[in-house]
Structure 1
Amino acid sequence: MMSNLPDFGEYGYQVMRELGHNRAGGRVTYLASRTPTAAPTPDVTPDPADLVAIKQFQFASTSDARWAGYEAYQREIQVLQGLNHPGIPRYLDCFESPRGFCMVQEYKPAESLAQQRTWHPIQVKEIAVALLSILVYLQNRLPAVIHRDIKPENILVDEFMNVYLVDFGFAHLGEGEVAVSSIVKGTLGFMPPEQLFNRELTPASDLYGVGATLICLLTGTKSMEIGELIDPSYRIHFRKRVPKISLSWIQWLEKMVEPKPKDRYPNAETALEVLTPIEISRTPQVISSHQLVQFRGTKLGEPITQTISIKNPVPGTMLTGRWQVAPYRRDGYFSKNKHPWIKIDPTRFKGNQVECTITVDTSNLMADRIYERELLLQTNSDQKLYRFPLKVQTAPEPVEEIKLPYPLLGILLGLALITVWTQPLNVVGNLIGWFTASVLGMLVFQLLFCGILLFMVGALVAHRKPDLAGAIAAGISSAVITPVSIIAYGMDSFTEPEDLVRYAYCMAIVGSIIGAYAEIGTEKLIHRFREKGTATDVSKNLAGAIAGGMFGTWTILYGTRSLSNGWAWLGWMMVIILTGSISGAVCDEIEQGKISPMPPNVKLKNSNVWTYLARVIVMLTVGLGISLGCALNGGILSPYWGILLIAGTAIPLGKMIYPHWRRSRQVREYHESKAQRIQP
């Protein structure tokens, strides 16, 4: 084998082996060393810096022994002498041997792309970028260099993915038309149509060969078989043969091999600029509407939801994904698809436009805390795992700003009920009447009655701050309600107007006394609830008005014989006074607490509103008791009116009281469950 190698020793080179040959073109390339003193042996490895590539042009061995081969030789030397680029082997020397002219170049230990091997799309892009960078250098020279024979055989790639462009034998300096020749200079399938027909060449001409070479690498097509991809209009069809690469890259390649030069990129610099940002693999991408998922609670225990939009903008691909919550030690153990207080719906999805709802259940979280967790999205995109920080600000700790006097409201409701439904009073009155039938009983109750009467008179006289407002309010309400009760019930004995006025006048006098006692009772109760506390004028006025108004309904009880005896009537009077007193006390307690049925975020600036609301709650409570009493009594009002009255008082009263009752319960439950709640 060694005997077939030429001897270039007299020129200072020792041939080691043949690198390649083109018998038809009469070109053979050898690997040689610049140290010819001794022939290389297997035991001696030459210094890589001393290795060169010698290209021998054997013109006499070709069918074309004329000047065409010599012109190519001279052209390549001329072009290479002016080039200095790491991607182009440097020209070193030339000499004339007996078998032909020889050109010496820098040796690159790399194989041509014509060697069959499998290239990953990312590697192909690296080759494209490196090759275009070489062309940018060539096209920016003055004059520009057009290679005219870019194909896999003329591109070398080493193990470090360094790319080299070789064989400038067909290179052309400057743009414009090329002289017509009988020899087609280039390789069929890699030459653009304008070169094939010897038309004007431009920087876009070499782009065709680059595109055709890359298509061969991606589709695994041999250079000699590229014609299978070309149709009669010189368009290369390759889409069905390429792997799953991005549509943007396919479109870039199609533009590189457009038959018409004007449809290609104008030069290598533009083509490289467009290629650089293109994603190679045709895999889905994830575009999320949120990078950070934040929640802010307004009510403790409420579920909070938020929606994340996940999009895939890559055509021809389908995005699939699965949500998980990153494990966190304080959340306890939970499966991959189920978290104790974070829920994502859907957990798994398939689609290019998906709305994912994230729900945070705050019922087991601490109040007024910040919880930081992490959501994980596994997809079939290049970036397999996406991380989304999740931040939850829970609602403030529930504080019971107002505590309604529920016991007093319950007593008030019961007393108002008894004022109309007199059966309990009659039972007690009958027992007292049976006991007083004896001499001892009569004596005891007479003394007791006189004592109570003296105590009441003394309390009325000894009241330290006499205030007639409550008595006046009681008198007015008695004077108004008395004739209304008579007319509503239809008592025959009071049909004349003057009788109604006279009777209302009498009831107003007695009602004023009862209202005064209710006012005193309110003052005593408030003083007992709050040391050194005094009832407000509003509370005392309300106490008198309610007591006087209830006393005005006595005409109905009298007409219906609802009170069976005097003792029951006396008890009814005491119940009225108690009802008025507790009404005033409840009103004062609520007013002092500044209760509001409005939502927490609605603030009322006018202090008179609080007083109004307190009075409304008290009057609704009394009204509900009276309505229930009327319904129990039966016969006083029809069932329909009874239902209407009960609903008209119970519904608004419930709407005002229920939110505060629920808040009180929530506060209690929260403090009881603090130790079991999830920590941030």
Structure 2
Amino acid sequence: MMSNLPDFGEYGYQVIRELGQNRAGGRVTYLATRTGTETATPDVTPDPANFVAIKQFQFASTSDAGWAGYEAYQREIQVLQGLNHPGIPRYLDSFESPRGFCMVQEYKAAESLAQQHTWHPIQVKEIAVALLSILVYLQNRLPAVIHRDIKPENILVDQLMNVYLVDFGFAHLGGGEVAVSSIVKGTLGFMPPEQLFNRELTPASDLYGVGATLICLLTGTKSQDIGELIDPSYRIHFRKRVPKISLGWIQWLEKMVEPKPKDRYPNAETALEVLTPIEISRTPQVISSHQLVQFRGTKLGEPITQTISIKNPVPGTMLTGRWRVAAYRRDGYFAKNNHPWIAIAPARFKGNQVECTITVDTRNLIADRIYDRELLLQANSDRKLYRVALKIKTAPEPVEEIKLPYPLLGILLSLALNLVWTSPLNVVGNWLGSFSDSVWGVVVFLFLFPWTVLSTIRTIAQNPGPAATGAIAGSISSAVIAALSAIAFGIGSLPWTQAAQEAALGSSLLGALIGAYAGIGTEELISRLRAMGTAREVSKSLAGAIAGGICGAWPIMDASRSLSNSWAWLAWMGLSILTGIVAGAVFDEVKQGKISPVNSKDKLKISNVSPYFAGGIALLTVGLGISLGLALNAGIFSHYWVSLLIGGTAIPLGKMLYPHWMRSRQVREYHESKAKRIQP
């Protein structure tokens, strides 16, 4: 086979092998190297840096040869000498051999589009863009170049999808409009009608060959069979043969091969500009705003939501889709559109821009855990199934934020109620009064009174700190309340100024004693509740102030004749002390601590609660008890201010207690149901 190859050694070239031939046209193309750079193995993969392509025009070997062939040879050399584009092999040299004229070009290791190959629509668009870019270069030259023979055989594509346009033998040079040619030149099926009928050519003429070539690639039609797609009016029909490509691209191709030049794009630049943004696929595409959607809970049992956007950028198409949650063994069995704790709306949609809301119900999830799940989107796009990962971090392990002393609050409410609802006190006072009228009553009094005095002195001496704290607060509050009570209700026939002074003076001494007992009692009660703990100074001051303040209201009790005898008065003052003691203990217990999680190991820390919150609960509970006592004495609707007083204490107290009561209930229910909750 090597002996049949021509010898171009005297011209400086060594032929390696034949690349292709067109015997009817008298043209043969060879792969060669310059003398001195020969390759030892003819079958070696050519390197464009070392190899050249030699096109030999054998005019004497064919009936078509002659002046026309020589003219094509000269024209191609003339055109190529002025071109410099990476998509056009460069002209290098020319010489005359005994068997014909030869032209030397840059070699490109690429195959023509005429080779049997299945092209993906995306690849076809890449070829179209590259080929039109070459034509833009040719049409923008001065003078413009019209190829006139664009077909699959004259377009080369290498493995990297680089595109090259070759064979400029029929090309025409000229400024402005292309003049009429006297000889029809080109390939049937790829020539536009104006070229076929030897009419005036324009830059739009080459677009017809580009469009016909792309149609062959998309439909798998061979070059020699292109006539099967052309009707008598020279229109190419290809819609039924193309794969699923976008309507916009089909319409672009139809415009490229319009029989009339005026109906095509005017030039390659315009055609390329229109083609570039056209989507290839006819089916919708899915563009999701998220591939991973993360949720973070802050409160136990709360629903958490996130939004995901789905878009379809392909014009002329409509996206439809359906969401479902991927099966997960720990979630149990569930219907496709009814997951136990994950919901997405809308579950089905139709549109090219849709906002979907994902809701995670955490009521049955374990706290402080990470749940990994997956959403599946079935769509009418090129990909039938899309996956979106979900990562859910549930709220921290629930603990009771504030431990409220509900038993103490109940006792405090009852004590405060009986301070004003004096019927029970009068019953006790009357019983003690009847008992003291007897001989035994005198004997008991003679022994009890000295013991009480001595016990008081000893108790205060043993607890000077709490006694002093309670006495100061009790003295001040008792004096102030007594003065105000005397001004409002009077003391006998004294003027209000004198009554206020005498009431304040007497009550300050009584309040100091009552407050001292309240301070000591609070210290004792807290030590028992906390196993020898100590009460805060504020707690003892509050206890003394409440106890002294209640006793300071004696002018009101006296004016309303609420207490029947002196024993009832003594019981009332004892009840005042107890109320102060319990109020101080309530304050101290609430103020004791706020429980909150430190980390995922469920460790706890204690931090102080606001004194306003603790004091507010204690004072409002006393106020509510007094309000209810007034209502029991006089009837809740007897005076409007009684109703206002009840509402003014009950509503704020309820707002303070209810959230923590609900929190305690929620914590209890969570721990009871934890074993039955859904696992991560």
TM-score normalised by L of structure 2: 0.70
Q: Which amino acid aligns with 2:233?
A: G
Q: Counterpart of 1:181?
A: 182
- Measured in 1, the distance between the counterparts of 2:464 and 2:490 equals 43
Q: Is the 8 A contact 1:190 1:213 kept in 2?
A: no
Tell me, yes or no, if structure 1 residue 227 matches structure 2 residue 233.
yes
**Number of matched pairs:** 577
Q: Which amino acid aligns with 1:481?
A: I
Q: Counterpart of 1:266?
A: 268
Q: Is the 8 A contact 2:149 2:171 kept in 1?
A: no
How far residue 309 of structure 1 moved from its aligned partner, in angstroms, is 1.6
Q: Counterpart of 2:304?
A: 304
Structure 1 stretches lacking a partner, 5+ long: 1-10, 12-26, 30-56, 61-66, 86-93, 96-107, 114-118, 230-235, 597-606
Aligned 1:531-550 pairs, distance under 5 A: 531-550=531-550
Secondary structure in 2 matching 1:569: helix
Q: Counterpart of 2:207?
A: 207
- Measured in 2, the distance between the counterparts of 1:379 and 1:573 equals 81
**Range with greater deviation from structure 2 (174-183 or 649-658):** 174-183
Q: Is the 8 A contact 1:248 1:279 kept in 2?
A: yes
- Measured in 2, the distance between the counterparts of 1:460 and 1:651 equals 39
Q: Is the 8 A contact 1:432 1:567 kept in 2?
A: yes
Q: Counterpart of 1:54?
A: none
Q: Counterpart of 1:358?
A: 358
Identity level (%): 60
Q: Is the 8 A contact 2:129 2:276 kept in 1?
A: no
Q: Counterpart of 1:40?
A: none
Secondary structure in 1 matching 2:542: helix
Q: Which amino acid aligns with 1:426?
A: N
- Residues 614-640 of structure 1: CA distance to partner in whole angstroms, max 9, x if unpaired? 323222221121122122221799532
- Measured in 1, the distance between the counterparts of 2:411 and 2:128 equals 96
Q: 1:582 and 1:315, CA in 2 relative to 1: closer, same or farther beyond 3 A?
A: same
Q: Counterpart of 2:46?
A: none
Aligned 1:433-452 pairs, distance under 5 A: 433=433
Q: 1:445 and 1:389, CA in 2 relative to 1: closer, same or farther beyond 3 A?
A: farther
Q: Is the 8 A contact 1:418 1:424 kept in 2?
A: yes
- Residues 511-563 of structure 1: CA distance to partner in whole angstroms, max 9, x if unpaired? 22111111111121122223443323222221111111101222222222222
Q: 1:595 and 1:489, CA in 2 relative to 1: closer, same or farther beyond 3 A?
A: farther
**Range with greater deviation from structure 2 (624-633 or 463-472):** 463-472
Q: Which amino acid aligns with 2:170?
A: A
Q: Which amino acid aligns with 2:171?
A: H
- Measured in 2, the distance between the counterparts of 1:577 and 1:563 equals 17
- Measured in 2, the distance between the counterparts of 1:301 and 1:212 equals 65
Q: Counterpart of 1:614?
A: 614
How far residue 110 of structure 1 moved from its aligned partner, in angstroms, is 11
How far residue 246 of structure 1 moved from its aligned partner, in angstroms, is 2.0
Q: Is the 8 A contact 1:112 1:155 kept in 2?
A: no
Q: Is the 8 A contact 1:257 1:264 kept in 2?
A: no
Q: 1:398 and 1:182, CA in 2 relative to 1: closer, same or farther beyond 3 A?
A: closer
Q: 1:301 and 1:448, CA in 2 relative to 1: closer, same or farther beyond 3 A?
A: farther
- Measured in 2, the distance between the counterparts of 1:548 and 1:669 equals 43
- Measured in 2, the distance between the counterparts of 1:521 and 1:315 equals 84
Secondary structure in 2 matching 1:460: helix
- Measured in 2, the distance between the counterparts of 1:394 and 1:608 equals 27
Q: Is the 8 A contact 2:255 2:264 kept in 1?
A: no
How far residue 404 of structure 1 moved from its aligned partner, in angstroms, is 1.9
- Measured in 2, the distance between the counterparts of 1:496 and 1:136 equals 108
Aligned 1:595-614 pairs, distance under 5 A: 610-614=610-614
Q: Is the 8 A contact 2:412 2:579 kept in 1?
A: yes
Q: 1:654 and 1:74, CA in 2 relative to 1: closer, same or farther beyond 3 A?
A: same
Aligned 1:564-579 pairs, distance under 5 A: 564-579=564-579
**RMSD after superposition:** 5.1
Q: Counterpart of 2:666?
A: 666
Q: Is the 8 A contact 1:79 1:168 kept in 2?
A: no
Tell me, yes or no, if structure 1 residue 511 matches structure 2 residue 511.
yes
How far residue 256 of structure 1 moved from its aligned partner, in angstroms, is 3.6
Q: Counterpart of 2:171?
A: 172
- Measured in 2, the distance between the counterparts of 1:212 and 1:427 equals 116
Q: 1:288 and 1:442, CA in 2 relative to 1: closer, same or farther beyond 3 A?
A: farther
- Residues 171-195 of structure 1: CA distance to partner in whole angstroms, max 9, x if unpaired? 3366664663165766588416578
Secondary structure in 1 matching 2:268: coil
Secondary structure in 2 matching 1:647: helix
Q: 1:286 and 1:472, CA in 2 relative to 1: closer, same or farther beyond 3 A?
A: same
Structure 2 stretches lacking a partner, 5+ long: 5-22, 26-58, 81-86, 88-97, 100-110, 597-606
How far residue 349 of structure 1 moved from its aligned partner, in angstroms, is 0.9
Q: Counterpart of 1:339?
A: 339
Secondary structure in 1 matching 2:382: coil
Q: Is the 8 A contact 1:595 1:610 kept in 2?
A: no
- Measured in 2, the distance between the counterparts of 1:473 and 1:110 equals 104
- Measured in 1, the distance between the counterparts of 2:371 and 2:191 equals 63
Secondary structure in 2 matching 1:368: coil
- Measured in 1, the distance between the counterparts of 2:315 and 2:228 equals 30
Secondary structure in 2 matching 1:225: coil
Q: 1:128 and 1:342, CA in 2 relative to 1: closer, same or farther beyond 3 A?
A: closer
Q: Counterpart of 2:314?
A: 314
Q: Counterpart of 1:474?
A: 474
Q: Is the 8 A contact 1:627 1:646 kept in 2?
A: yes
**Range with greater deviation from structure 2 (417-426 or 467-476):** 467-476
Q: Is the 8 A contact 1:133 1:272 kept in 2?
A: no
- Residues 125-164 of structure 1: CA distance to partner in whole angstroms, max 9, x if unpaired? 6567668878989999999996635579x8999xxxx9x9
- Measured in 1, the distance between the counterparts of 2:305 and 2:114 equals 60
Secondary structure in 1 matching 2:374: strand
Q: 1:240 and 1:431, CA in 2 relative to 1: closer, same or farther beyond 3 A?
A: farther
Q: Which amino acid aligns with 1:347?
A: A
Q: Counterpart of 1:639?
A: 639
How far residue 583 of structure 1 moved from its aligned partner, in angstroms, is 1.6
Secondary structure in 2 matching 1:366: coil
Q: 1:329 and 1:221, CA in 2 relative to 1: closer, same or farther beyond 3 A?
A: farther
Q: Is the 8 A contact 1:371 1:393 kept in 2?
A: yes
Q: 1:546 and 1:171, CA in 2 relative to 1: closer, same or farther beyond 3 A?
A: same
Q: Is the 8 A contact 1:435 1:442 kept in 2?
A: no
Aligned 1:59-458 pairs, distance under 5 A: 148-149=148-149, 171-172=170-171, 177=178, 180-181=181-182, 183=184, 187=188, 190-191=191-192, 193=194, 198-199=199-200, 205-212=205-212, 214=214, 222-225=228-231, 227=233, 229=235, 245-250=245-250, 252-253=252-253, 256-257=256-257, 259=261, 263-264=265-266, 266=268, 279-433=279-433, 454-458=454-458
**Range with greater deviation from structure 2 (438-447 or 580-589):** 438-447
- Measured in 2, the distance between the counterparts of 1:173 and 1:213 equals 20
TM-score normalised by L of structure 1: 0.70
Q: 1:502 and 1:146, CA in 2 relative to 1: closer, same or farther beyond 3 A?
A: closer
Q: Counterpart of 1:17?
A: none
Q: Is the 8 A contact 1:473 1:541 kept in 2?
A: yes
- Measured in 2, the distance between the counterparts of 1:132 and 1:416 equals 92
Q: Counterpart of 1:52?
A: none
Q: Which amino acid aligns with 1:296?
A: R
How far residue 423 of structure 1 moved from its aligned partner, in angstroms, is 2.2
Q: 1:382 and 1:483, CA in 2 relative to 1: closer, same or farther beyond 3 A?
A: same
Q: Is the 8 A contact 1:72 1:170 kept in 2?
A: no
How far residue 298 of structure 1 moved from its aligned partner, in angstroms, is 1.2
- Residues 35-56 of structure 1: CA distance to partner in whole angstroms, max 9, x if unpaired? xxxxxxxxxxxxxxxxxxxxxx
Q: Which amino acid aligns with 1:171?
A: F
Q: Counterpart of 1:623?
A: 623
Q: Is the 8 A contact 1:76 1:167 kept in 2?
A: no
How far residue 462 of structure 1 moved from its aligned partner, in angstroms, is 3.6
How far residue 406 of structure 1 moved from its aligned partner, in angstroms, is 1.9
Tell me, yes or no, if structure 1 residue 551 matches structure 2 residue 557.
no
Q: Is the 8 A contact 2:591 2:610 kept in 1?
A: yes
